[in-house]
Amino acid sequence: MTPGTDPAAAVPVVVLAGGLSRRFGTDKLDAPLAGSSVLERAVAGIPAGWPVVVVGPVRPLRRTGATWVREDPVGGGPLAAVLAGLRACSGEVVAVLAGDMPAGGPALPALVAALHADATVGAAAAEDDSGRVTPLLAAYRRPALEGLELGTGHGGRAMALLGAGHVVVRVGAGAARDVDTPQALARAEADVSEG
């Protein structure tokens, strides 16, 4: 194993928290979920000791030590936000977690391990029970992303992050569920109750 590729080592996590919540109607990241908020649940699930870079407006967080950044220009979309987060952290491997995936954090170690297990790919991305792959719950090799020449990412599609090849890791519906609507929030609440 080459230096810096220990799957047990702390990996920086870029948390996307700058969306407009159009379908939700209000700020979905502040929506109450199991005595907390959607964003708090997402961040709380990240392994202890892993550095956190949140891309979005500064909000109160119980987890201390998070770094806050914004994409430039603000509102550039998830690809621009991931690239802004990458610029704010170091390491050969970086994980990404959408802030509206309250159960996604615990899946990050498995994604990092899958990435380390296959040196031929640039990413390990989560797949839900229906076969949907998301680039916003994933682990990436920084050199592979840099080789994609994504520019600022402003207005680009997040799926472009998987352009250097990827493996998929089945994480189940709950981990990959994003809270985009009040109905999705109700399902997330049910997931917490069942867990």
What mean pLDDT comes out for the span 128-141? Answer: 94
Task: State the pLDDT at residue 155.
Answer: 81
Ramachandran bin of 155, using left for φ above 0, alpha for ψ from -120 to 50, beta for the remaining angles: left
What mean pLDDT comes out for the span 127-153? Answer: 91
Task: State the pLDDT at residue 1.
Answer: 36
Please, which pLDDT band fits residue 136 given cuts at 50, 70 and 90? very high
What class has domain 13-194?
A: alpha beta
Domain boundaries, the chain: 13-194
Q: What is the pLDDT of residues 4-62, one digit of tens each?
A: 445 458 999 999 998 655 555 557 888 888 888 999 999 999 999 999 999 999 988 99
Task: State the pLDDT at residue 74.
Answer: 85
161, containing H or E segment: none
Q: Look up tokens 């719950």; give the residue.
A: 137
Q: Is the pTM of this model over 0.75?
A: yes
Q: Are 125 and 133 in contact (CB under 8 A)?
A: yes
Distance CA 189, CA 74 (A): 30
